[in-house]
Chains A and B, each alone.
Chain A
Amino acid sequence: MLTNKPNAGKKSMTFQGKNVLRFAVLVFCVSFFLVGTACRYDMQDQPRYKAYKESEFFSDGKAMRDFPEGTVARGQLNENKALHTGKKENADPNAQVETTTDELGNTIVSSFPNAIEKMPINVTKETLDRGEQRYKIFCMVCHGPVGKGDGMVVRRGYPQPTTYHDDRLRNAPVGHFFDVITNGWGKMNGYASQIPVEDRWAIVAYIRALQVSQNPEIKSGEADSTDKAAEDNKNETEQTGEAETQEPAADNGGAN
């Protein structure tokens, strides 16, 4: 339509030039939207490690480093033997203990020559509440709500653990329970990496309270784990909490 004018050729040339320019601007704008989103990625994935990131630098591929073998981090010398191992100061590594296996295939030991008898921490109501909470997170799945060995995972086919409510474990020293949580026992794995030391002692205190509350000699009547018994048990725990507070607190200085 522009061709019937004298200088049409020239005009259409510039017109075309403008078109090219416009086209370029359009392409720029569109690609800005498209490429612009991609430009973010160097801010998005910054060259630093976040927790659990994979590393190309370390040969084991882990960005989160383990301690080199044989080193001790500041503040983790764990000098307090009673607190960190539940064992006596002058423990005898060669002490002879008799081991038997019961009908469930569990390892049974009834003398504990090296385990400490007294709680190395102060037991208060807060300790017991904490212990109850941690017991329900880490132990209840196998040992059941009151320690009878009837947790959900056992019902799904995991081998049944021993009950806490027999004379052997009722008389076992606290150090034994701490040792079981820390290093495992028979088929049970240790929980040292999942539960800090203070929480382990809190759980031990709670197990002691459970044992008292489930003991038919102290508490006549039902000892079965119905919901009601569990309720009662909770109330009792609080009472025993007060009762237990006295003794370990008094002995605290000696245990260190």
Chain B
Amino acid sequence: MAQLFHPGANNIAKASLVLAVILGGSAFYAYTQIARSSYLTNQYLEKQQPVQFSHRHHVGDDGIDCRYCHTSVENAASAGIPPTQTCMNCHNQLWADSPYLEPVQASFRDNKPIKWERVHDLPGYAYFNHSIHVAKGVGCSTCHGQIDNMASVYQENTLQMEWCLSCHRNPEQFIRPKSEIYNMEWSDSDLTAEERSKLKVDYKIRSRELLTSCSTCHR
């Protein structure tokens, strides 16, 4: 029987094995990169909101504290989104006739909540709680970035498990004094490593085993 394959085919066969490994490897690599890409994590995505509410104006220019609007951030899991009533504290007098604020006025008149689009949204199987992070010295800007510069809010980080763990493994790299939690300009290098390690002891931050245990976040 005539040989089916030319002897040179051996080399092709060997090469194709190597090629398969390389191809498979890069396909897997591409898959992990796509999974981390902003396309799938919605990182940096700005959403169209019903009102052109700007944190840059309200926080950056007017100096309103986060807690004026996000009242429950210190004592509940959710930071809280302000009800229309809160907007009306100022906008019953200020810019009351502006077309920008018409949806707010309408919401107040008809007693219907404004339908804000969620920007940060963890999947249902992951548990997150603001109050513990604020109480243990993790500032807003560590997770949310410089909100006071954002005309519309976007997700500064991926919010993937990988990201949570990068901090839960070494929280002492990211904590700050409690007086600086709402400081948007804070940088982690404002304290030395020793000062931060001392804070970790003061805050009684628990062990890495506990913070990275699955049931801490999946409960």
A-side interface residues toward B, CB under 8 Å?
33, 37, 40, 43-46, 48, 50-52, 54, 60-62, 136-138, 141, 152-153, 156-159, 187, 189, 191, 193-194
Q: Mark B76-92, 1 if CB is under 8 A from A, else 0.
A: 01101101011011101
Please name all residues of chain A whose beta carbon is closer than 8 Å to the beta carbon of B115 when the two chains form the complex. Answer: 54
Within 8 A of A (CB), among B60-105: 61-65, 67-68, 71, 77-78, 80-81, 83, 85-86, 88-90, 92-95
B-side interface residues toward A, CB under 8 Å?
31, 40, 61-65, 67-68, 71, 77-78, 80-81, 83, 85-86, 88-90, 92-95, 112-113, 115, 118, 123-125
| Closest Cβ neighbor of B40 among chain A residues | A37
CB distance from B37 to the nearest CB of A (A): 13
Check A156/B94 contact, CB under 8 A, given A51-B77, A141-B62.
yes
Question: Can you list 7 A-B pairs with a CB-CB distance of less than 8 A?
Answer: A51-B78, A54-B115, A137-B67, A141-B64, A156-B94, A189-B88, A193-B83
The list of the 6 closest CB pairs from A to B, nearest first, reads: A46-B124, A51-B78, A44-B123, A137-B65, A189-B89, A152-B62
Contact of A50 among B85, B90, B113, B124 (CB under 8 A): B124
Are A61 and B113 in contact, CB atoms less than 8 angstroms apart?
yes
Are B93 and A159 in contact, CB atoms less than 8 angstroms apart?
yes
Please name all residues of chain B whose beta carbon is closer than 8 Å to the beta carbon of A194 when the two chains form the complex. Answer: 68, 71, 86
Check A46/B125 contact, CB under 8 A, given A193-B83, A194-B68.
yes
Are B93 and A158 in contact, CB atoms less than 8 angstroms apart?
yes
Q: Cα distance A173–B88 when bound, in Å?
A: 28
Check A45/B124 contact, CB under 8 A, given A153-B90, A194-B86.
yes
Are B94 and A153 in contact, CB atoms less than 8 angstroms apart?
yes
CB distance from B3 to the nearest CB of A (A): 12
Are A136 and B65 in contact, CB atoms less than 8 angstroms apart?
yes
Are A62 and B113 in contact, CB atoms less than 8 angstroms apart?
yes
Please name all residues of chain A whose beta carbon is closer than 8 Å to the beta carbon of B40 when the two chains form the complex. Answer: 37
Are A52 and B81 in contact, CB atoms less than 8 angstroms apart?
yes
Q: Cα distance A158–B112 when bound, in Å?
A: 25
CB distance from B24 to the nearest CB of A (A): 11
Are B31 and A33 in contact, CB atoms less than 8 angstroms apart?
yes
Are A158 and B83 in contact, CB atoms less than 8 angstroms apart?
no
Are B85 and A44 in contact, CB atoms less than 8 angstroms apart?
no
Q: Cα distance A189–B82 when bound, in Å?
A: 15
Q: Cα distance A37–B123 when bound, in Å?
A: 13
Are B68 and A138 in contact, CB atoms less than 8 angstroms apart?
yes
Q: Cα distance A143–B22 when bound, in Å?
A: 67
- The winner among A45, A48, A157, A158 for most chain B CB atoms within 10 A is A158
